[in-house]
Amino acid sequence: MIKRISSRWLFNGLLKGLCMVTAICISSLSIAVDTDNDGLPDDWEIANGRDPLVADYMVSAGAEHSCALDDTGVVCWGYNNFGERNLTIMETPIGVPTLSNPTQVSASSHTCALDDSGVVCWGGKSYEGVEVPTLTNPTQVSAGTAYTCALDDSGVVCWGSNIYGVTEVPTLTNPTKVSAGERHTCALDDSGVVCWGNNNLGQTIVPSLTNPTQVSNGGANPQTYQDDAYTCALDDTGVVCWGSNYHGQTTVPTLTNPTQVSAGGGHTCALDDSGVVCWGYNNAGQTNVPALSNPTQVSAGSLSSCALDDSGVVCWGSNDVGQATVPNLIIERVVQDVDGAPDDTDNCPSVANSDQLDTDSDGVGDVCDDDDDGDGVADDNDGYPLISVAGLSDADNDGYPDNCEKECLDLGMTSDLDDDNDGVVDEDDAFPLDATESLDTDGDGIGNNADFDDDGDGTLDVIDAFPLDPEENTDLNNNGIGDNADLAALEALLAAAREEGRAEVTANPSLYGLITGAELDAEVAERAQAIIDDPVAYGIEVGFDLDGDGTLSPLTDGLLLIRYLFGFTGDSLILGAIGEGAERDTADEVEAYIKERVPVQ
């Protein structure tokens, strides 16, 4: 086990909780914008004097070795037959020259780094690409196979083996990135992606791209020299690859919002919303991505792949020379806020909160606390996130007390108008504490949702055309009106018609061959008096007292006789025509008496 110490590590150790073990040490992060993909938010890096555009941590998978940048500097492991310190194969970590505050590392068949002195390269079978030319303020370095390229004030500069013209840089306009591969080189400038060198499989013929932001060339593969002849870029459409597709390395799978791409020795890896995704050559499991936690970087090597995630550096694939066996790295990702409170007493060290407000005094500042008032109701669902509802009834757990008396009101709360939070205010809710019920149409104590006969009319809701109307349950004509209401309406219509007819006849009796009531009364009275005056003339025997009341009266005896002659019988015969104290006061008695004295008509 090797633990590497440097002034950079000591600086980081001053930030918080110096890591005292040799294993990877990582604390939780406040996820924010992380431009350089090193796991440290930009605002924290700025506040702590770091450059948010320069990664503090990175990983690079090469031909048969891997390298990483941690708090101690550059650490490499894997094949080392040509390392400058002449260590043996499989010894880890590989010897790295003295570097001063390195900020980048690039592994291929050899290794290069960027530090305070500029570009430093070492290793490699022929040492081509290791002898660095004079550079002016280099900002990026990329190690290829037997050659190297860098980006400095003059633009792109390449050196080493010039097979296929890989170091002959064409005219570029404001280049911002460069990628050295096996036998071709690509750069990103104002015009987009520009590639040069070997083009045997179309790897330098750049397809149409929209606002490309990254470019990556296939690198050395110790088992085949065809797989590396391809290129990938990241643009507005996602990941685009071209050139050799011998192992499907340029057939890009479906990706969701990819942010990085890395072309290896016949396989490709990308970083998207789902994490790391790899495809192509998989003879050693280099595309079988293990479980990763919030990966921020990925690098595809020849037959292996590596990523940087919350746990540190993780590598997989070929490990025949130890390139996937990651040594102990020192990655102290301790992120402090800048609120002025000492981290050992800060109640929310990951988020600035100068007021240190902690409403429920649970030791967690409100800005980091999901339940500020500590009442068991999460702030997002709490009607009063800063006033505890503890001790008060809160049926729907929304932070509003079901009933709010004086003490509750004094705290600034009010009663919950919807105790069960079903969207129906309590005063309109038949079941104010049951979120599954709010109506009880028939008042039987069973909510409509559970009641099989909501209106209590004896007809089950499933066959009741009007399940909420106890007066109706069928609608034979499907007009939306119950049959009972339809029948009542019809009867009312007929009654109205009959009444209208009576009114018409009464108003105009002569139109229908009838005489008026007054005319009829006068005629009846006149004929009745004539019969009384001379009954014999009308064939009626003496003894005309038809009702037997002892008197002869046109309004009783006369009316009874007229009605009889007109064919009246029963109650219609005697109604209103029987004298007081009459001996014969029923229709049968009157009819029998008259029949004995009046000739048959």
Render 500-524 in DSSP notation, one character per residue: HHHHHHHH-GGGGT---HHHHHHHH
What confidence tier does 279 reach under pLDDT thresholds 50, 70, 90?
Answer: very high
> If pLDDT is split at 50, 70 and 90, which confidence band does 435 have?
confident
The CA dihedral of 160, 162, 167, 170, to the nearest 10 degrees, is: 160
8 Å CB contact between 320 and 85: no
pLDDT at residue 487 in the model? 79
| More confidently predicted of 40 and 249 | 249
* The pLDDT of residue 352 is above 90: no
Comparing CA positions, the residue from 361, 386, 389, 362 lying closest to residue 375 is 389
pLDDT band at 21 (very low <50, low <70, confident <90, very high): very low
432 pLDDT above the threshold of 80:
no
Q: Please indicate, yes or no, whether the overall pTM of this predicted structure exceeds 0.85.
A: no
Q: What is the pLDDT of residue 521?
A: 58
Q: How far apart are CA 262 and CA 299, in angstroms?
A: 6
| 304 Cβ contact partners less than 8 Å away, ≥ 6 residues apart | 61, 66, 284, 286, 315, 316, 317, 318, 319, 323, 324
Interatomic CA distance for residues 405 and 131, integer angstroms: 83
| Dist. CA 71–CA 343, nearest whole Å | 21
Q: How close are the terminal C-alpha atoms of the chain, in Å?
A: 143
Closest by alpha carbon to 386, among 351, 361, 352? 361
Token digits for 463? Answer: 């066959």
Phi, psi of 151 (to 5 degrees): -115, 120
Beta bridge partners of 195: 186
Range name among 127-131, 241-245, 330-334 with the lowest pLDDT average:
330-334
- Return the closest-CA partner of residue 327 out of 509, 80, 142, 16: 80
Note whether 67 and 76 are within 8 A (CB).
yes
Q: Strands (DSSP E) along 140-274, which ranges? A: 140-143, 147-152, 155-160, 177-180, 184-189, 192-197, 214-217, 230-235, 238-243, 260-263, 267-272
Binning the chain into helix, strand and coil, the percentages to the nearest 5 are 20, 20, 65
Question: Above 60 in pLDDT, residue 13?
Answer: no
Mean pLDDT of the chain: 80
Cα 594 versus chain centre, distance: 98
Of 68, 65, 99, the closest CA to residue 83 belongs to: 65
Task: Give bridge partners of residue 140 from the DSSP assignment.
Answer: 151
Is the pLDDT assigned to residue 231 strictly greater than 90? yes
pLDDT for residue 29 is more than 60? no
Identify whether the C-beta of residue 180 lies closer than 8 Å to the C-beta of residue 163.
no
Q: Which pLDDT band, with edges at 50, 70 and 90, does 419 fall under? A: low
Range with lowest mean pLDDT among 24-33, 477-486, 504-513: 24-33
**Apex CA 146: angle with CA 145 and CA 149, to 5°?**
80
**Strand, coil or helix: 588:** helix
pLDDT of residue 334: 52
Structure tokens at 6: 């440097």
